[in-house]
A and B are shown apart, each in its own frame.
Chain A
Amino acid sequence: MNIYDLIFYLFALLTLVSAFFVVTNKNIVHSAFYLLFTFFGVAGIYVLLGADFVAIVQLIVYVGGILILLLFGVMLTNKITNVEIKTGTINIFSATIGVGLFSGALLAAVLYAPWKESSLQEAVPTTGILGNLLMNEYVLVFELLGIILLIALIGAASIARR
């Protein structure tokens, strides 16, 4: 086992343990903060796989955006309006069936998917390649997504204007 593997297992452990605490913790704010470490661990694994751009976007979007929004929501309801939010287990029977089916499907997908294997040892910067793909092959989808995001931004600004 070399250092690369060691770091991979470190990130994997971080992701799994914090994800476990996210679902089992009774305090919802703690769950939200554990999610931070889960996102961070996933970003680390992306880096180890040579997907630098995806890792950075993972951090910007999930840690910088979604997690902060989540924390705001949880904190505003929890502390300021004094509403107790609790996480608990209900409907164990149906939940087990649903989770079992879903994890079975995931496991099947992982086991039987035709994974692309590459023998790439040196990590190459992916930004340029991704940019080329987005601007040539997937340009329509890309532009549409850009317009949707722009609309969201303009909408936020116009709501703030009132």
Chain B
Amino acid sequence: MVGLVLVSHSSAIAEGTAELLRHMAGEVEVAAVGGDTDGALGTDPERIKEAIEGLDADEVLVFMDIGSAVLSAETVLDVLEPEHKQKVRLVDAPFVEGAFAAAVLASTGADADECTEAAEEARTELKLYNEE
């Protein structure tokens, strides 16, 4: 089973995205990690690490929003024990749309490759179509 960790500067964004995923994708392991150590806007590597370690999943996809969320997630990979590190990958995709696509596939039992591919495609997926 693929699980997701959502890392945002804002706990409201992380929690809200997790709520959306659970509602739309149903049975999927999602952990939301938002805000810094004091609950202010920012990211908190320690909680990112704990979320990865605590997720009940064989493979873990991490989604990050902006700036230091990416640096924090990358740094956590450096300090994870090998048993956890080998099941984690960071996904380069839009935060909400990418996590949503991955979660829907994860809920169908897709593997991490398939979920990642779907998340990455969310970057170029058009929302508005020009009438030809």
Whether both chains belong to one complex is answered with no
Which positions in B face A, CB cutoff 8 Å?
A: none
